[in-house]
């Protein structure tokens, strides 16, 4: 081998075997994170607000570099162009999305998980991670369904069954649940080999149906639309039922829709209840929905991606009453289980239901094997269940209860602040820890109350513009952050733009919530917004 190539080869071995020196830039960043998690993320990373277009310029070369780069040089690049330009999702004033500070122990454990680099698709590359993941799914099953402890031993580590499926997030969890529901509806029967084998067309023909539908309120997560598309059902058959008070599904409207579907020879495949809507944090009447699902003889899925952990709270778990009647439940670990991004779960009430989506291969996932991959939508996967296991063990039920209670309390406090302020309008009452509101000067609120629908629409259109601008200016200032969405409320005919706040970060104080509103009050004094206000 020529000398030059040998030198390269030795360098190559180095990067696989020799760690960064403690005094290298990467070593220093690593140490800073280890030494001062909260401080590092809240102060050290000063996100200078640069326009996105400018940041894009640093990421525009398309040719892969020919020559290797020193880790130290690369780290300098990362520090300047990535870390400094990242969003402080952990900052206590970042209350606009479903992000939070995460417990510090998640960092070394993530590193451990990465170093072990297990692949949970099969036991041969995961070993202890397989039973651990199964335990985590059993723990969540127990949290939701509260089956007696003697229910679990035959199922928990049984290769023929699964109490749930671990996945990269709530979207895959929801898709998995509906995939399972669809395949159970069209299970093998006589000469019909089932939908997994024969496809949707022959399944509908076999059952003499003109279609299948998924029912959910208009607050359903957008992943359900993706599922309807992906599963071949079509978004037209994702029937979005209107909501009644407090963003909950209107049960009368639901029954009406069911009648219409029956007239069209369309069978409801699944009814989806929401435990914590993404936009407003409200919970559907799960108990009554379970009744409807039972009447329809269809799968009942509960999307508790956000609200699931409310079950930890003795005080608030009643809000989710009826969830124990769901055939499947989605819970996101990277939301209110405080696990880093990329971990979700779907839990199945019946441990044998999973056979509807089971699959095998010759080199892995063999029949009878304990390989988790035989019933997950994903294939190769990291051992993220470790982080859920760690959270449940270290924080404990009571710790999570405290976190949940804190968030709901904080949301009520914030709602009170908004209601007390004459120039803000609360647009959805917090039931869990999410609320929406908008800036709407007292005089305009009065005018709206008596205006005719046409006048209301005009005023709301202006208020929408103000809301949008306000949110943008606040985000760009980078001190605090709320998000925005579009919402139909009880008060107006129009869908309106509202500000949205999610209160899941335990480090968010009441003072910070004061600051959020104070900042908004100051922003609306800017000429751009004043000009719009003048038109009201």
* Residue ranges in 161-220 that form contacts with a copy of itself under rule CB under 8 A: 168-172, 175, 179, 183, 193, 195-202, 204, 210-211
DSSP reduced 3-state for 301: strand
Part in contact with a copy of itself (CB under 8 A); list of ranges 115-123, 254-262, 313-321, 451-459? 115-123
Scored b (16 or more CB within 10 A) or e, 119-143 reads: bbbbbebbeebbbbbbbbbbbbbbb
Q: Is 381 in the site for a copy of itself (CB under 8 A)?
A: yes
Least separation in angstroms between CB 106 and a copy of itself: 7
**Which lies closer to a copy of itself via its Cβ, residue 13 or residue 422?**
13
CA 429 – CA 434 distance, rounded (Å):
8
Interaction pattern, residues 313-342, with a copy of itself; x per rule: CB under 8 A: -------------------x-x-----xxx
**Which lies closer to a copy of itself via its Cβ, residue 290 or residue 328?**
328
DSSP reduced 3-state for 307: coil
Of the candidate residues 91, 93, 95, 134, the single one contacting a copy of itself (CB under 8 A): 134
Q: H or E segment at 38? A: helix 37-39
Q: Give residue for tokens 């070369």.
A: 61
Part in contact with a copy of itself (CB under 8 A); list of ranges 314-322, 371-379, 443-451, 510-518? 371-379
Question: Pick from 145, 166, 142, 137: which is nearest to 323 by CA?
Answer: 145
Q: Give residue for tokens 């895959």.
A: 172
CA 509 – CA 495 distance, rounded (Å):
31
CA 203 – CA 209 distance, rounded (Å):
8
Q: Is 48 in the site for a copy of itself (CB under 8 A)?
A: no
Q: Is 154 in the site for a copy of itself (CB under 8 A)?
A: no
The answer to whether 316 and 283 have CB atoms below 8 angstroms apart is no
Of the candidate residues 255, 486, 491, 493, the single one contacting a copy of itself (CB under 8 A): 486
Residue ranges in 231-290 that form contacts with a copy of itself under rule CB under 8 A:
231-237, 278-279
Residue ranges in 409-468 that form contacts with a copy of itself under rule CB under 8 A:
none
Q: How many residues bind a copy of itself (CB under 8 A)?
A: 182
Q: Is 128 in the site for a copy of itself (CB under 8 A)?
A: yes
**Which lies closer to a copy of itself via its Cβ, residue 295 or residue 350?**
350
Least separation in angstroms between CB 534 and a copy of itself: 27
Of the candidate residues 2, 3, 17, 454, the single one contacting a copy of itself (CB under 8 A): 17
In 79-208, where does DSSP find H-type helix? 106-116, 129-145, 153-156, 170-185, 195-207
**Which lies closer to a copy of itself via its Cβ, residue 18 or residue 531?**
18
Question: Pick from 170, 171, 206: which is nearest to 186 by CA?
Answer: 206
**Residue 47 has what DSSP assignment?**
-
The answer to whether 519 and 477 have CB atoms below 8 angstroms apart is yes
Residues 6+ apart with CB under 8 A from 125: 118, 119
Q: Is 398 in the site for a copy of itself (CB under 8 A)?
A: yes
Least separation in angstroms between CB 403 and a copy of itself: 7
Q: Is 512 in the site for a copy of itself (CB under 8 A)?
A: no
């Amino acid at each position: 081998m020529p000398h030059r190539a040998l030198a390269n080869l030795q360098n190559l071995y180095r990067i696989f075997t020799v760690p960064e020196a403690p005094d290298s830039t990467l070593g220093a960043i690593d140490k800073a994170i280890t030494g001062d998690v909260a401080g590092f993320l809240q102060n050290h990373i000063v996100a200078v607000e640069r326009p996105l277009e400018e940041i894009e310029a640093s990421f525009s070369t398309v040719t892969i570099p020919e020559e290797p780069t020193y880790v130290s040089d690369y780290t300098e690049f990362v520090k300047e162009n990535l870390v400094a330009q990242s969003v402080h999702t952990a900052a206590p004033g970042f209350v606009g999305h479903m992000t939070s500070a995460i417990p510090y122990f998640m960092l070394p454990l993530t590193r451990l998980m990465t170093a072990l680099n297990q692949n949970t698709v099969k036991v041969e590359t995961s070993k202890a991670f397989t039973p651990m993941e199964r335990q985590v799914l059993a723990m969540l099953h127990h949290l939701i369904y509260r089956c007696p402890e003697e229910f679990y031993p035959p199922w928990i580590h049984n290769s023929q069954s699964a109490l749930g499926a671990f996945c990269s997030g709530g979207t895959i969890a929801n898709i998995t649940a509906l995939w399972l529901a669809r395949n159970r509806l069209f299970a093998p029967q006589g000469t019909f080999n089932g939908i997994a084998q024969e496809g949707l067309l022959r399944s509908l023909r076999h059952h003499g149906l003109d279609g299948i539908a998924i029912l959910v309120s208009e607050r359903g997560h957008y992943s359900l639309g993706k599922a309807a598309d992906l599963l071949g059902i079509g978004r037209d058959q994702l029937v979005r039922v209107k909501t009644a008070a407090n963003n909950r599904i209107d049960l009368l409207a639901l029954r009406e829709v069911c009648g219409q579907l029956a007239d069209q020879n369309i069978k409801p495949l699944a009814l989806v209840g929401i435990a914590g809507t993404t936009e407003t944090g409200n919970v559907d009447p799960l108990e009554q929905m379970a009744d409807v699902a039972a009447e329809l003889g269809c799968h009942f899925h509960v999307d508790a991606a956000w609200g699931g952990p409310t079950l930890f709270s003795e005080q608030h778990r009643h809000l989710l009453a009826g969830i124990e009647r769901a055939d499947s439940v989605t819970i996101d670990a990277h939301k209110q289980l405080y696990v880093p991004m990329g971990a979700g779960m779907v839990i199945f009430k019946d441990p044998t239901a999973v056979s509807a989506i089971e699959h095998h291969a010759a080199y892995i996932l063999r029949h009878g094997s304990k390989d988790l991959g035989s019933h997950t939508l994903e294939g190769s996967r990291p051992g993220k269940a470790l982080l859920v296991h760690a959270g449940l063990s270290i924080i404990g039920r009571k710790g999570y209860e405290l976190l949940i209670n804190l968030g709901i309390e904080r949301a009520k406090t914030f709602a009170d602040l908004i209601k007390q302020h004459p120039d803000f309008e609360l647009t959805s009452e917090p039931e869990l820890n999410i609320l929406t509101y908008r800036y709407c000067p007292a005089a305009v609120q009065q005018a709206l109350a008596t205006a005719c629908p046409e006048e209301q629409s005009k005023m709301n259109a202006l208020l929408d513009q103000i809301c949008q601008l306000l949110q943008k200016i606040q985000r760009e200032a980078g001190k605090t952050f709320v998000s925005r969405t579009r919402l139909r409320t009880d008060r107006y005919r129009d869908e309106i733009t509202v500000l949205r706040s999610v209160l899941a970060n335990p480090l968010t104080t009441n003072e910070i919530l004061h600051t959020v509103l104070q900042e908004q009050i100051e922003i609306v004094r800017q000429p751009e917004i004043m000009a719009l206000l003048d038109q009201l």
